[in-house]
Amino acid sequence: MGSNGFSVNPATLLVCTQTMMQEAGQFGGIADTLSSGPAYGVGSGTDFGTLPASSRLAGLTAKVNDAANSEFNAAETYLRGTEYALDAALQTYMQADGANAAAVDAEAAMLRHAEQMGTIP
């Protein structure tokens, strides 16, 4: 834990980032398969027969399909945003950790040099 009470587990951040990427892809894949129109079997009034209610059923089915498509796209967008935020946090941590390690190494080198010169009491 850092001096301010904040600690980071980079392995956990990486796993979370990868999980968000996989989940976003799955939601996006579902959204890609949902589309209204004759190519997907919905769209004409005769998709469900020739009864008067058939065209209404086709229209409602298309609306449900469009709503589901919209929701799965929204889920993909949200998960991608989470993925990017986690990745940014991981990259920031790694940069800070590298800078801290470099500073510690530099201080250790100065102390070794001072010790060799006999300037450390």
Whether residue 90 contacts residue 10, with contact meaning beta carbons closer than 8 Å, is answered with: yes
The model's pTM is 0.68
Residue 4 lies in a domain: no
Would you say residue 117 has pLDDT above 90?
no
Residue 5 lies in a domain: no
Cα separation of 65 and 39, whole Å? 13
Token pair for residue 118?
């006999």
Would you say residue 47 has pLDDT above 80?
no
Residue 1 lies in a domain: no
Residue 54 lies in a domain: yes
pLDDT of residue 5: 61
SS3 category, 42: strand
Total domains present in the chain: 1
Would you say residue 22 has pLDDT above 90?
yes
pLDDT of residue 104: 83
Cα separation of 16 and 93, whole Å? 15
Residue 59 lies in a domain: yes
Residue 2 lies in a domain: no
What are the strands, taking DSSP E only, across 3-70? none
High-pLDDT (> 70) share of the chain, %: 83
Domain that holds residue 73: 10-117
